[in-house]
Structure 1
Amino acid sequence: MFHIAICDDSEYDLQEISSALQGLRHLGICFDETWYQSGRALIDDIAEGEKSYHLLILDMLMDSINGIETAKAIRTYDVSMPILIVTSTVQYALAGYQVNAWRYLTKPVDPGELVREAAAVLKSQEKSDETCYVVQSNGTVIRRVPLADILYFESSLHTITLHTMREDIEFRGAIRDIDEQLTPLGFFRIHKSFVVNLSHVRRLSSRSLVMVNGDELDISRARIQQLRHALMDEAEREHISSHRMRS
């Protein structure tokens, strides 16, 4: 299920865009949509970490805070969310590229063109999700974190903390589900409380390991031998990958 946000201070335009998007269903694309009639409401949802979208369709000309100001604020919280700008005048189109917009469409929006662009965005997002860990809260996607950025997951009761070099993200979940999902992707459960990214392990001892950020984590005695084999396999994969890139 894809999540699409539409932000436009005109209810008529919201309805028109929403109606046009129904063409996605004929392509077999399942989605839901959330309407915003002000950029501020959208920014607040993104800033609070309560919402994340596979696609944002954003009006350029809005009262109080315009589309570019809205997009710039959103980019401080989410640098990768695809933004499709709709505008009534082409003179503002170039400004959209300042915020890494997917592209712009002029109003009145052509339904066929909107569906083609939206479908292309969602297809690219589907591929992106394969290399990201999708953090959810109550069934709502709140963040997508590239697997390469993740150091390790830590479990405490029913709370999971996802650790990266830059930040920690907390959410409700079960460590066993993370283990099952990510072990085939270069992660390993070293302890009942930890699942680590093998590519970010700096040093291994008999009872603990040290991550590249200096965090020292306990290792379950029953898992130490499997962990050594997993680290060797990961090192071999990285060597092969590096060799292919040089070739």
Structure 2
Amino acid sequence: MIRMAICDDEKDICSFLEEASEKYLEARRMDYSIDVFYSADALRNHLKKGNEYEMIFLDIEMDGLSGVQLGEILRNDIRDDAAKIIYVSWQESYALELFKIRPLDFLIKPLTMERVEAVLELALRLLNQENDYFVYQQGSVQGRIKISEIVYFSSTLRKIAMRTVDEEIVFAGKLDDLVKSLDEELFWRIHKSFIINQMNVKRFEYNNVKMIDGSTLPISQSYRVDIRNKQKKMLK
């Protein structure tokens, strides 16, 4: 079941997004539910009651609470780092403000069916990947863990430490080999000794990154341009 929210104070935009999403999901025979809200305040109240969504189409410019403010509440107060937020706006100037909220995409109005379908395809692919498992080998024992639970990998010599939301798991290997087997859209190398799961980033800064487990990891100078380009790509 895909749970989706659409929040925009323009009813025709809500109708377009709802119809486009229904058409896309029904064509793929997927179970879904879609809730529509005409203000960020209404959606905030609904979320604070414990309701959750895998995807949220969220307008930026609304009377009362803005989409940016609601995004900050979702990430920092409600502490939902998993929801895929797709911002919509008439203006492109908001893009840089949204990095700290880690949206999946940023759509410029007027919307088109092609752009909505493309972002739905990306969101569903990432949701599927996050429910997939990473398989690792500890001596003669093989283990697996949900990809969504991996925060980052670090290495020293020929040992890799995998930090998850609950524990640290150490196994033999090199990051240079590991990075080739990981999905580059989810896992970003930020340093010769660190690979992060970008879906578990709390905040990007110029020379470091804050992860959801409280870790602060350095972004080395040789990777800064690549990381900035990846962030910008996410918002195109």
- Structure 1 CA distance, aligned partners of 2:175 and 2:97? 36
- Count of residues paired in the alignment: 150
What corresponds to 1:68 in structure 2?
68
1:85-124: per-residue Cα shift (whole Å, max 9, x none)? 1101222233222311112111121012101111211121
Are residues 245 and 89 of structure 1, via their aligned partners in 2, closer, same or farther at CA, if it must alter by over 3 Å?
closer
Matched to 2:113, the amino acid is P
Corresponding residue to 2:104 among 80, 92, 102: 102
Query: 1:37-56 counterparts in 2 under 5 A?
Result: 37-48=38-49, 50-56=50-56
- SS of equivalent to 2:106: strand
Are residues 70 and 131 of structure 1, via their aligned partners in 2, closer, same or farther at CA, if it must alter by over 3 Å?
farther
Contact 2:91 2:108 survives alignment (8 Å): yes
1:118 pairs with 2:48: no
What corresponds to 1:27 in structure 2?
28
TM-score, reference length from structure 1: 0.53
- Structure 2 CA distance, aligned partners of 1:120 and 1:145? 17
Structure 1, unmatched stretches of 5+, are 133-143, 150-163, 166-198, 201-234
- Cα deviation, residue 147, structure 1: 5.0
What corresponds to 1:243 in structure 2?
173
Identity between Structure 1 and Structure 2 (%): 18
Contact 1:131 1:147 survives alignment (8 Å): no
Matched to 1:52, the amino acid is E
Contact 1:55 1:122 survives alignment (8 Å): no
- SS of equivalent to 2:173: helix
Q: Indicate the structure with greater helix content.
A: 1
Contact 1:60 1:68 survives alignment (8 Å): yes
Structure 2, unmatched stretches of 5+, are 135-145, 152-164, 178-236
1:109-141: per-residue Cα shift (whole Å, max 9, x none)? 101210111121112112213359xxxxxxxxx
Are residues 94 and 9 of structure 1, via their aligned partners in 2, closer, same or farther at CA, if it must alter by over 3 Å?
same
Contact 2:95 2:106 survives alignment (8 Å): yes
Are residues 117 and 44 of structure 1, via their aligned partners in 2, closer, same or farther at CA, if it must alter by over 3 Å?
same
- SS of equivalent to 2:94: helix
- SS of equivalent to 1:73: helix
What corresponds to 1:4 in structure 2?
4
TM-align CA RMSD: 2.9
- SS of equivalent to 1:43: helix
Matched to 2:45, the amino acid is D
Are residues 246 and 104 of structure 1, via their aligned partners in 2, closer, same or farther at CA, if it must alter by over 3 Å?
closer
Contact 1:97 1:103 survives alignment (8 Å): no
Are residues 92 and 28 of structure 1, via their aligned partners in 2, closer, same or farther at CA, if it must alter by over 3 Å?
same
Larger Rg: 1
- Structure 2 CA distance, aligned partners of 1:128 and 1:56? 17
